[in-house]
């Protein structure tokens, strides 16, 4: 675990002086890269996730092709519900991932398997193979979906604009919802800790659907169970930073007590305000609107420099997008973003 302690990424996350900001992009191993599409043409999405050699290959691609400062393992947040016994279907271009038999009652929650870490060996093998291929060039990031976000898919059955079925479940069956979220939290702690044992230098907990609930319900169903994961992981592996990315939240009040070592900020939030609301001992990450990468290079450079200027120079900070890179992003535009960060001194 000491191979990357002096990397730009980990030094910045510890709040140590750095010559420039580290930079990577969410979903950086993906469809905007022709090299990814070439490999993806040989297998389906889950097949790619579950073949460590291929997963490692696409994980390393953006390091070589666009020059990012970290490699995030190629996987999917929904491998957890699948390992718990839910049938998962992923058909790109056909509406995204879906569970044909979503959870509808407490009985469904009780049927979910526990102690599933061994079923996810392909993720840990992919991390280990990625480490071998990178040979210390950049750190490796592991990740998982937060309990609330996983539960949203498991109950709704698929992505949704409003998550009506999921929200109705939480409002009508709160005891069953908390039981599900507690089960997920327990599995996620083991899963993330095992990722660090495989070689992950940093972790990220994605809470993509944090913003779909009213604030009071988010704190009860979302933040409370995410905090259980964050705190559990920090206790087990205190030297590995774990960033929490709660997309769509309206306030960061109380987040300092969540157990996270830092926070990802989405593109809808003003980065300067987030820096003011969260104590400066917590590093931040983000938050360029991914759509900016669809504009001319001079616009990308200008907007990137504006983003970098919003974070005080002495604060730990990682440049990133405020959500995943869009599949129709030109590779040269992604490179313009990365290069602008690299050329901007603190």
Q: Which residues have a catalytic role annotated?
A: 27, 31, 40, 76, 153
List all residues 6 or more positions away from 62 whose beta carbon is below 8 Å from its beta carbon: 24, 25, 28, 29, 33, 68, 71
CA atoms of 128 and 199, how far apart (whole Å): 6
CA atoms of 300 and 308, how far apart (whole Å): 12
Backbone angles phi, psi at 98, to 5 degrees: -150, 150
Q: Which two tokens stand for residue 328?
A: 């129709």
Q: Which two tokens stand for residue 58?
A: 């696409």
């Amino acid at each position: 675990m000491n191979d990357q302690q002096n990397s730009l990424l980990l030094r910045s996350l510890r709040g140590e002086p750095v010559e420039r900001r580290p930079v990577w992009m969410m979903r950086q191993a993906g469809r905007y890269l022709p090299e990814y599409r070439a490999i993806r043409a040989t297998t389906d999405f889950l097949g790619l996730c579950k073949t460590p050699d291929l997963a490692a290959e696409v994980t390393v691609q953006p390091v070589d092709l666009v020059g990012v400062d970290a490699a995030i393992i190629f996987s999917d947040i929904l491998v957890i519900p699948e390992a718990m016994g839910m049938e998962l279907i992923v058909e790109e271009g056909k509406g995204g991932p879906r569970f044909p038999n979503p959870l509808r009652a407490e009985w469904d929650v009780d049927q979910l398997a526990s102690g599933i870490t061994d079923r996810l060996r392909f993720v840990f093998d992919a991390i280990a193979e990625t480490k071998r291929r990178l040979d210390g060039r950049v750190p490796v990031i592991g990740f998982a979906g937060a309990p609330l976000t996983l539960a949203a898919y498991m109950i709704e059955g698929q992505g949704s604009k409003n998550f009506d079925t999921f929200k109705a479940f939480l409002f009508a069956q709160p005891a069953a919802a908390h039981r599900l979220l507690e089960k997920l939290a327990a599995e996620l702690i083991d899963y993330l800790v095992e990722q660090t044992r495989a070689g992950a230098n940093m972790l990220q907990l994605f809470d993509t659907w944090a913003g779909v609930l009213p604030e009071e319900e988010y704190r009860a169903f979302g933040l409370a169970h995410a905090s259980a994961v964050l705190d559990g992981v920090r206790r087990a592996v205190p030297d590995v930073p774990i960033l929490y990315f709660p997309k769509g939240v309206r306030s960061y009040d109380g987040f300092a007590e969540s157990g996270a070592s830092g926070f990802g900020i989405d593109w809808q939030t003003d980065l300067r305000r987030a820096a003011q609301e969260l104590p400066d001992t917590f590093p931040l990450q983000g938050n360029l609107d991914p759509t900016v990468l669809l504009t001319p290079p001079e616009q990308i450079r200008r907007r990137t420099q504006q983003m970098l200027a919003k974070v005080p120079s002495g604060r730990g900070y990682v440049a990133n997008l405020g959500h995943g890179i869009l599949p129709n992003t030109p590779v040269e535009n992604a490179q313009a973003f990365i290069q602008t960060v690299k050329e901007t001194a603190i």
